[in-house]
Amino acid sequence: MKIKILIPIYNDWQSVDKVINKIDNLVKEINHEFSIFVINDGSTENKPDSFGYSENLHFLKILNIKNNIGHARCIATGLKYIFQNEEFDYVIPMDGDGEDRPEEIKIFIDNLNYNPDTPIVGERVKRSEGIFFKFSYIIHKLITFVFTGKSIKFGNYTLLPKKTVKKLINEKATWSSFSGALSKLENNLATIPSERGERYFGPSKMNFLSLVKHSLSIIAVFKASVILRSIAFYAIYLILISNNLSVITCIPLALIVIFGILIVKISGRENIEEFNSCLNNVDNIDSVK
């Protein structure tokens, strides 16, 4: 099988280099053809000369994006490039900082014996962040489930069959939220347990504001459901407080309205025209191997 691994990067060359090294050591024991695409999201730091050495990868390419477009759009760009230009059976998008543990690739591959045509997602069973972030993440999952009816417990770390990649590159939501788009397109997802690893170098780039933006982007994929549920919550709550209207009791109503406005605004990121033309934003391609 031909398996392409897709890794977005912004300046974190040292971490990605270590991820590549670990993958290179891992795949020599797996009888399939592995290649890596690094999506360079307009990094301001130069790639080290020794970056990306490997012995067991079929090839390693770096797609250099002209300007910074963000993690989700890097994945979308990589998926479109691979689908249009490469022969492949599966794609594995993953983070390149060590938080997606390379050793779990073998678990994905082993599970192909049971789910050859089904997307396999790494469902988080353990996280490495602090208590506040973990609590915030639980709230994110709860709000997502309440307003969308979807329980999304995975991130970018997945194994995608070719037919799923085809769906994703024709879905505008992929341009804004990878996990949201995958949940929208595929009702049947296989899962493997995935532990959130610790970053190899430097602090995590996912802070509270990043988590909020990430959460809203996922929820916005299901905008129609969010609007309908928001209207229902608004109406029910208004009936419940109809005999006790005050500034305090009306605060939840205002929050629902603000939430709805934010979701509609964030959903504007789902631009199919930009997605279709995203490869025009690739400056050049470096073939490291």
Question: Inter-axis angle of helices 131-148 and 223-240, to 10 degrees?
Answer: 90
Rounded CA-CA distance 35/32 in Å is 10
pLDDT at 265: 93
Which residue, chain included where needed, has tokens 């024709």? 170
pLDDT at 128: 57
Enumerate residues 6+ apart whose C-beta is below 8 A from 228: none
Mean pLDDT of 8-27: 96
pLDDT at 54: 93
Q: Which two tokens stand for residue 46?
A: 């130069």
Encode pLDDT of 214-245 as tens digits: 889 999 999 999 999 999 999 999 999 988 88
Output the average pLDDT for the chain: 92
- Asked whether 182 and 168 are in contact (CB, 8 A), the reply is yes
Domain 2-220+270-287 falls under CATH 3.90.550.10: yes
pLDDT at 207: 65
pLDDT at 25: 95
Residue 56 predicted with pLDDT over 80: yes
Residue 53 predicted with pLDDT over 80: yes
Alpha-carbon dihedral sign for residues 76, 13, 89, 113: negative
Encode pLDDT of 128-165 as tens digits: 566 776 777 788 888 889 999 888 889 999 999 999 99
Residue ranges of the domains in the chain?
Answer: 2-220+270-287, 223-264
Q: Which pLDDT band, with edges at 50, 70 and 90, does 266 fall under?
A: very high
Mean pLDDT of 267-288: 95
pLDDT at 130: 65
